Amino acid sequence: MGPLFLLDLASQQARWLGTRQTAIAGNVSNASTPGYKAVDVRAFEDVFDKTGLTMAATSPAHMTLSPADMRSAVVRQSEGWETSLSGNNVNIEEQLLKAGEVSRNYALNTGVVKAFHRMMLASVKV
């Protein structure tokens, strides 16, 4: 049996989600600070792309995506929301949307890890 990278990947994403949530919380706490500029972290996909891991089809029945299909699936982010007269560009609604996205991603992450854990336990039962 080879090494299992899924748990390491899930751990890395959970750390990234915690970092992003910290950035969002900092933005919300400085929403009324004059001149404060909202911050965010790079997308996890950008961080993950630098690891050099690739997906491999282990069965002819597996679906595959060509690089062109993957490029068309990339979502582009808008420039951001408005800046107030005080120079502050934190928008509470935008930050709440980002916080909801972090929450959904964390729930998905933990759901995948739980399912993988159950699968591993089932495979070792006698």
Report residue 125: phi and psi, to 5°. -70, 145
What is the average per-residue pLDDT within 24-46? 89
- In the chain, the percentage of residues whose pLDDT exceeds 90 is 37
Phi and psi of 88, rounded to 5°?
-85, 130
Q: Is the pLDDT of residue 25 over 90?
A: yes
67: left (phi over 0), alpha (psi -120 to 50) or beta: alpha
Tokens at residue 3, please?
């090494």
pLDDT score for 96: 94
- 95/109 Cα distance (integer angstroms): 21
44 falls in which pLDDT band (50, 70, 90)? confident
Task: Output the pTM of the full model.
Answer: 0.68
> Which tokens is 84 given?
């107030």
Contact 90, 28 (CB under 8 A): yes
Task: Give CA–CA dist 62/69, Å, rounded.
Answer: 16
Quick one: average pLDDT of 9-35?
Answer: 92
Domain ranges of the chain: 6-124
pLDDT at residue 72, as a whole number: 37
Confidence of residue 8 (pLDDT cuts 50, 70, 90): confident
Residue with more model confidence, 90 or 65:
90
First-to-last alpha carbon distance for the chain, in angstroms, is: 18
